[in-house]
């Protein structure tokens, strides 16, 4: 499986958090390497450098899709198979 990375951003209610205003979410793109995602993140973040309430992040999609390959994902529980 490719190591997929999502880059997105938007306005946050508090610049110290990742509490996004969902009506402002901008998806920059999905990338197959961290280096490409980081380049996209850097470009988007630099375009909004003067706006303290706008923030961009890189999400490691591959860790969410295949958590056993990368180890446990904090805060995310895997669904349990039904008993029986």
pLDDT per residue over 35-60, tens digit each? 999 999 999 999 999 998 999 999 99
Q: Sorting pLDDT into bands at 50, 70 and 90, what band is 20? A: very high
Residue labelled with tokens 């039904």: 82
The stretch 3-25 carries a mean pLDDT of: 93
Domain ranges of the chain: 5-70
CATH, domain range 5-70: 3.30.70.2400
> What Å distances lie between residue 83 and 36, 57, 76, 78, 80, CA to CA?
43, 38, 21, 15, 9
**56 beta partners:** 9
Locate the DSSP E strands across the chain: 5-11, 26-31, 54-60
Distance CA 82, CA 19 (A): 34
In eight-state DSSP terms, residue 4 is -
């Amino acid at each position: 499986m490719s190591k997929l990375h999502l880059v997105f951003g938007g306005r946050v209610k508090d610049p110290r958090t990742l509490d996004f205003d969902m009506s402002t979410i901008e998806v920059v793109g999905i990338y197959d390497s961290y280096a490409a995602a980081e380049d996209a993140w850097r470009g988007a973040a630099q375009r909004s450098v003067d706006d303290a309430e706008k923030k961009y992040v890189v999400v490691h999609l591959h860790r969410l899709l295949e958590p056993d390959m990368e180890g446990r994902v904090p805060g995310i529980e895997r669904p349990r198979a039904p008993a029986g």
